[in-house]
Structure 1
């Protein structure tokens, strides 16, 4: 069995920036264990496998694997898959079947290897719990308790398909000096993947509104985490001064790793209730190859 694959950098227009992604094309002949083994072989934060859609009106079925497990949904694989399908099929709207449900992305081509994709969240974020152990959070993050909190935001757990512990910090300087103590994550960040998404507002940075870093999920630090940004939309919506209206944000992630990502976030509320959430970004193809599994 020989399978073509593409390598992309997601949440960026610049090659060798953003969050790397492998996309395996026409993967219908692979079993689930084989997909998992290939994801371990690539050893990226996620690998996408494109298979034939169940419905003829959809572009593909999208399977998303970390090196250790399959995910029902993830942001940078969804953006990357949409860009691949949009570039290959010259589509402006791409409908993808994911484990979480049907995802529709709007794709705008920039050139033959670069495009921007934005998709509506298949599941709106919801709050799971508050996080009150500030001392434990501070110790797990390598910062001081007084560094925790930003504007109206306090630590909380949200999910839009994948659960994240959202940790606001005082400013970008605090964010940059976070040094996580992974040994404490299981105790302090006890929900699902034991992951911490640390963020702050960045009024001093004209290129973006929010900065973030993500730790956990068995990958250390991740340069660009769309599913965490999707969860963050829930917290933003809960604190946004919008009875009815729309808010748009640009979030940067990965700067501290030398892999700068920019993620667009959009939320809409009607009568104080979140009714729409979307994330997006660019992706650029940086390479291609062939898996030889004979």
Structure 2
């Protein structure tokens, strides 16, 4: 017989509820097997659904498994923040006040929390360096732009498999109309600087194929590794904000803070639904 599990749907990376990126979170999920986790994630049809479990590492506060409609991820940013918010909202008490330690397939992820805002420490990238020129050309073709409009590019894979290209402006990023048939199985971000005087330093978009979604509304993992890249090149300040989701009618705002060699990625988190999942 199905058993009840605490459930929350959390809006992440927006100060306006229902304008960020939602994640479904099922807590007390130790008795749910992997096949059911994948089936549920396919059914919710969100970019990610997470399952909060008892940690296997004594230094972690909880363990999380992260699923897209198409498969499991070792790490993802907005599910990390949303899972932490749901766990805290359910009465979770971190071992260290003000710090939450999440265990996931990518390892231990440290989070800081203050009020409704949470931030995670960007994990090290698994793959870095320039993209192959043939792949850059493929991305430009899929984006419908001349190759010369891509002014920089990099592997920024911290688990999901991200690559990113930089365009000259946020307007160019917002104008993109990708042909996904030309870039199958890709996870590619596009970032461009906003005009002087804008409330955010950059606009970013995250295009995903092969996992059940086409464009992720607001993406913590991509912003984490892109920030590590840009800050290391001296092309971004140590503190800035990024807008994301504009083309999707969202109002995503990602806060980047860097210090002592760590990039922190944060934003507002709001529990929009609380209830029970029968699994």
TM-score (norm 1): 0.85
Partner of 1:236: 230
* Residue-by-residue CA offset, 1:203-244 (whole Å, 9 max, x unaligned): 3353211110111143101111111112212321341179xx
Distance 1:7 1:284 in 2: 9
Q: How does 1:11-90 map to 2 (within 5 A)?
A: 11-87=13-89, 88-89=91-92
Q: How does 1:119-268 map to 2 (within 5 A)?
A: 119-124=120-125, 126-133=127-134, 135-149=137-151, 154-186=152-184, 193-217=185-209, 218=211, 219-240=213-234, 247-268=238-259
Would you say the 8 A contact 2:150–2:165 is kept in 1? yes
Would you say the 8 A contact 1:143–1:174 is kept in 2? no
Partner of 2:276: 290
Whether 2:9 is the aligned partner of 1:7: answer yes
Offset at 1:56? 4.8
Offset at 1:171? 1.1
* Residue-by-residue CA offset, 1:119-151 (whole Å, 9 max, x unaligned): 1123256514334245433221122334322xx
Distance 1:195 1:140 in 2: 12
Partner of 1:101: 107
Would you say the 8 A contact 2:144–2:176 is kept in 1? yes
Offset at 1:183? 1.2
Offset at 1:170? 1.8
Task: Give secondary structure in 1 for the equivalent of 2:130.
Answer: strand
The alpha-carbon distance between structure 1 residues 79 and 27, as it changes in their structure 2 partners (threshold 3 A), is same
Distance 1:93 1:142 in 2: 44
* Residue-by-residue CA offset, 1:263-294 (whole Å, 9 max, x unaligned): 1123347xxxxx3222111110111222223x
Flag as ranges the 4+ runs of structure 1 deviating above 6 A. Answer: none
Would you say the 8 A contact 2:16–2:251 is kept in 1? no
Offset at 1:3? 1.5
Partner of 2:265: 279
Distance 2:4 2:235 in 1: 53
Task: Give secondary structure in 2 for the equivalent of 1:240.
Answer: coil
Distance 2:34 2:264 in 1: 29
Alignment coverage as a number of residue pairs: 270
Structure 2 regions of 5+ residues with no counterpart? none
Offset at 1:28? 0.7
* Residue-by-residue CA offset, 1:157-203 (whole Å, 9 max, x unaligned): 222223212111121221111010111113xxxxxx51110110113
TM-score (norm 2): 0.89
Would you say the 8 A contact 1:23–1:48 is kept in 2? yes
The alpha-carbon distance between structure 1 residues 156 and 58, as it changes in their structure 2 partners (threshold 3 A), is closer
Distance 2:114 2:126 in 1: 26
Task: Give secondary structure in 1 for the equivalent of 2:238.
Answer: strand
| Alpha-carbon RMSD | 2.1
Distance 1:100 1:280 in 2: 19
Task: Give secondary structure in 2 for the equivalent of 1:86.
Answer: helix
Offset at 1:102? 0.8
Task: Give secondary structure in 1 for the equivalent of 2:183.
Answer: helix
Structure 1 regions of 5+ residues with no counterpart? 110-114, 187-192, 270-274
